[in-house]
Chain A
């Protein structure tokens, strides 16, 4: 576990819950004294390794079955470079500016939302025209003055942009999106600050409009709202429910599906994501699609 912050702790618990704490050994690499002490206090038998040890000892790196990179985004490329030739599976929390390989999985958890497959099936016979996806959160990035989140990575664009784009990619039928060169997408940026980002692009025959809004007191936590316009309908999706304006199909909500998971910590999607990682199912989107959606975010960043 490279980085034992909030996400490192969360993934550690979920892996323990799925596999059984007695069946898994954790090594933690994190320079923070508090993070290390937190890990020592919570995770029985945890061992600590340093970046220097990982750099200098190929045998140590090769001894792991799984490596999870949950360190701050600007460090991930450096860590991935260390893993050249590593045969186990690597989980990269948000793969900013890195190329994922076959044994790499992204931390874009919305790909594993239980209702995605229901929506994908319903959209299979529809002709899509436009997709509008909005993220609203009460967190304000403008207000973060210290730590790595006070830098350019700490903005609504980089915290949530990939989550929204990967969600859109995951519920679309077939893997058509994020396959084209970015210069063919007619990317337009209408707003971009640390707390607001609005941009649009055209991929195939579908227009996409993305809105990322932070510092909103209207919501209790991060909220996703997606509207899919087809030639004769509007379909609404918010991760919890799907409905159709023209009532072409019955609305469905998450509770009605009776979904449950092996071990629950903070949402079905987080457990399903870790199960996909442990069994090797990995991302719903392809590595090239993940890289392409990341490139979109960087072009938006560049148009500030």
Chain B
């Protein structure tokens, strides 16, 4: 089982205590960089990173302290929903379009126009071109800062919006767009059963909350356990997030859960470097951790 480093605490996201007063970006990113250094030294290869407006600052801070030729992979999460949310709240959908840029939109114009049904095509385009545009914008920034990209993650609010409306064709467009760039798509969702039941083709990852308390394991722990027990299509990976239920489940209790064997990777997030080591040691002790040179 692989370990993916999560970024939520680096940006002040905490499901246990809500959104509290933030430390300065400099302090947060300095301690985040130390966590990344420890994780990389211990064999963790991937950081899942929200494309928060400040994320390049974090990568610059990390780049200063990571060893040369580190090979740490960034799995960017697109889009950053609070930016979209605020744009739509302030200026409507038109304002959002303007923010994306006329030049950029022109390059995927046909896709957008078909999606919006101007040609009477109610089934819409798969938005593959639009996804490729957004992905390429983030790829260029991350690679320029010296990081590798192998996965691109679709934010759960977009995945779940499309799952709720049963627009599997658009989700397929995202998977295909990633494949077109030699990347693997990651569908982050809070509706695991729905994504596992969707008829999606190709290689992709389903990433969702899973913990023995059932916190945010929707629609219920029993139903998700049933879904992950079923045979999977080849090429479909499962990543578990929130296995500690934001700290409500103790590590040793979480790792005793036999259902974790169904997952290919787990996400772990912290602001403390020593906790990364503790987590990896605990995984290794239970023979769940590979590639960990502790």
Contacts and interface: CB of A to CB of B under 8 A. Distances in A.
Given A41-B117, A260-B214, A265-B160, A219 B21 contact: yes
A253 interface: yes
Interface stretch (A141-149, A180-188, A277-285, A292-300): A141-149
Interface string B157-173: 10011011111000000
A42 B217 CA distance: 26
Q: Name the residue among A41, A261, A266 with the largest chain B CB count within 10 angstroms.
A: A41
B89 A255 contact: no
Given A223-B19, A255-B213, A16 B13 contact: no
A258 B213 contact: yes
A143 B217 CA distance: 38
B104 interface: no
Contact of B116 (A40, A143, A147): A40
Interface in A110-167: 139, 143-144, 146-147, 149
A72 B160 CA distance: 25
Interface of B, helix, strand, loop or mixed by DSSP: loop
A238 B164 contact: no
A263 B218 contact: yes
Interface string A1-35: 00001100100111011000110000000001011
B22 to A, nearest CB: 6
B259 interface: no
Given A32-B92, A34-B97, A220-B82, A263 B164 contact: yes
A218 B220 CA distance: 35
Contact of A254 (B16, B20, B93): B16
A249 interface: no
Contacts of B115: 41
B157 A238 contact: no
B90 to A, nearest CB: 5
A207 to B, nearest CB: 25
Interface in B17-34: 17-22
A262 B191 CA distance: 9
A263 B191 contact: yes
A44 interface: yes
A63 interface: no
Q: Name the residue among B18, B82, B85, B167 with the largest chain A CB count within 10 angstroms.
A: B18
A16 B166 contact: yes
A218 B23 CA distance: 8
B165 A21 contact: yes
Interface string B101-136: 000000000000001111000111000000000000
A254 B215 CA distance: 8
Contact of B18 (A240, A259, A260, A266): A240
A14 B249 CA distance: 29
Q: How large is the interface on A (under 10, 10 to 19, 20 to 34, 35 or more residues)?
A: 35 or more
B22 A6 contact: no
A241 B218 contact: no
B161 A265 contact: yes
Contacts of B12: 219-220
Contacts of B16: 240-241, 253-255
A256 interface: yes
Contact of A42 (B11, B19, B82, B167): B167
A266 B160 CA distance: 9
B164 A219 contact: no
Nearest to B81: A266
B215 A258 contact: yes
Contacts of A41: 115-117, 124
Contacts of B191: 17, 263-264
Interface in B207-263: 213-221, 245-249
Contacts of B88: 5-6
Interface of A: 5-6, 9, 12-14, 16-17, 21-22, 32, 34-35, 37-38, 40-45, 139, 143-144, 146-147, 149, 218-224, 238-241, 253-266
The 6 A-B pairs of least Cβ separation, nearest first, read A37-B116, A17-B164, A40-B117, A255-B248, A264-B190, A13-B164
Given A238-B17, A258-B245, 4 more contacts: A16-B165, A139-B89, A222-B19, A258-B215
